């Protein structure tokens, strides 16, 4: 099992699946969501509309990858940050549900963005703690997941995730 951190473009990843920081309407948007829909093409949105009527915060759904290198896109809905304890529970759940979809679909490698830290305003360091711990806890009991790659867009986010990981947050 490997956990990797890279600064880059999630749409260019060669993992079996990439996670999308989606909105609850699954309607496309800006940031990571917009980039994935743009790079993956119209068939991703078409599949979302055919299969789903939205997705609740803290959950995730899966589609094909369209024109992306990744075979699948996992559309995870993180919370809009409010400072309440439920934010952490919902963000944890979004990562866990995404990993459960990997297990259910025999996906061994997945790339995640930093869910909820863009337009949804989640503080990066808090989100990094939740993401790294949730992934670490899940992969301890799910050896079928061989690679989790965090693909982080900017230096601040990349450094926050690397720092959290280097402090051994996964060891619990």
Known catalytic residues?
33
88-99 burial by CB neighbour count: b if 16+ within 10 A, else e? Answer: bebbbbbbbbbb
Phi, psi of 4 (to 5 degrees): -120, 155
Rg of the chain over all Cα atoms, to the nearest angstrom? 14
- Cα 30–chain centre separation: 15
Token code pair at residue 45? 């949105």
Q: What is the Cα–Cα distance from 54 to 7, expressed in whole angstroms? A: 30
Q: What is the Cα–Cα distance from 40 to 9, expressed in whole angstroms? A: 13
User: Look-up: residue for tokens 């965090």?
Assistant: 150
**Contact call for residues 111 and 151 (beta carbons, < 8 A):** yes
Task: List 149's β-bridge partners, or say none.
Answer: 4, 111
């Amino acid at each position: 099992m490997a956990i990797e951190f890279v600064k880059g473009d999630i749409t260019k990843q060669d993992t079996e699946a990439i996670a999308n920081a989606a909105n609850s309407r699954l309607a496309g948007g800006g940031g990571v969501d917009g980039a994935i829909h743009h790079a993956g093409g119209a068939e991703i949105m078409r599949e979302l509309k055919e299969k789903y009527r939205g997705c609740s915060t803290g959950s995730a759904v899966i589609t094909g990858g369209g024109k992306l290198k990744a075979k699948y896109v996992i559309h995870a809905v993180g919370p809009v940050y409010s400072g309440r304890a439920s934010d952490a529970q919902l963000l944890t759940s979004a990562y866990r549900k995404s990993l459960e979809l990997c297990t259910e679909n025999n996906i061994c490698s997945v790339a995640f963005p930093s869910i909820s830290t863009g337009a949804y305003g989640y503080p990066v360091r808090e989100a990094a703690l939740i993401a790294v711990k949730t992934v670490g806890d899940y992969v301890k009991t799910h050896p079928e997941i061989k690679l989790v790659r965090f693909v982080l867009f900017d230096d601040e986010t990349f450094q926050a995730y690397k720092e959290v990981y280097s402090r051994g947050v996964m060891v619990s």
